[in-house]
């Protein structure tokens, strides 16, 4: 079903947009290795009802608005993308259609900045004022326990 996953991704978009700002003028693109180190075995907490765990193995699983999603993540250049499908609680299966969300990364001094650069619905993003300081990544897996309660494994 399309609707549960739509709600999940909308929650991710709404929570990340709240911190929008301009990118610092001296910001330089982060390397793919820097971004992988930033995300591997970390949980992105997008808000009180949305989070995703990015495993070092390239798999991602997440929660949003009481639902679950899973897929893979990869980094190309200075952009991280996750390709996921939502879990249908009625059929107890993940959807076959994948949705993509991407974030570009830059660094200014010791501060990392990110931009929600591609939304699952291909809605145009604010590539100028949509930057925010990295403050949502937490070490470890803060998702799996609740994820298993929803998905069952």
Three-state DSSP state, 80: strand
Mean pLDDT of 48-56: 94
Q: How confident is the model at residue 73 (pLDDT cuts 50, 70, 90)?
A: very high
DSSP conformation letters of 113-139: EEEEEE-TT-PPP-TTT-EEE---EEE
pLDDT at 3 over 80: no
Mean pLDDT of 79-108: 92
Mean pLDDT of 22-44: 93
Are the beta carbons of 105 and 133 closer than 8 angstroms?
A: no
- The pLDDT value recorded for residue 9 is 46
Three-state DSSP state, 150: helix
Cβ contacts of 4 within 8 Å, gap of 6 or more: 67, 86, 87, 88, 89
CA-to-CA distance for 85 and 39, rounded, in angstroms? Answer: 20
pLDDT at 8 over 50: no
> Percent of the chain beyond pLDDT 90?
56
Instruction: Convert the pLDDT of each residue in 120-134 to its tens digit.
Output: 777 777 667 778 888
Q: How confident is the model at residue 116 (pLDDT cuts 50, 70, 90)?
A: confident
pTM of the model: 0.82
Cross-strand bridge partners of residue 111: 108
- The pLDDT value recorded for residue 126 is 67
Mean pLDDT of 56-67: 94
């Amino acid at each position: 079903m399309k609707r549960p996953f739509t709600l999940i991704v909308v929650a991710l978009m709404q929570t990340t947009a709240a911190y929008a700002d301009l990118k610092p003028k001296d910001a330089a693109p982060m390397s793919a290795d820097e971004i992988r180190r930033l995300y591997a075995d970390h949980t992105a907490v997008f808000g009180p009802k949305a989070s995703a765990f990015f495993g070092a193995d390239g798999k991602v699983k997440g929660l949003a608005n009481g639902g679950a999603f899973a897929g893979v993540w990869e980094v190309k250049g200075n952009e991280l993308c996750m390709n996921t499908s939502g879990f249908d609680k009625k059929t107890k299966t993940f959807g076959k259609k994948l949705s993509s969300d991407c974030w570009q990364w830059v660094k200014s001094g010791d501060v990392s900045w990110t931009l929600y650069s591609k939304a699952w619905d291909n809605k145009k993003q604010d590539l100028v004022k949509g930057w925010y300081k990295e403050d949502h990544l937490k070490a470890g897996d803060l998702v799996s326990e609740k994820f298993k309660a929803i998905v069952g494994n």
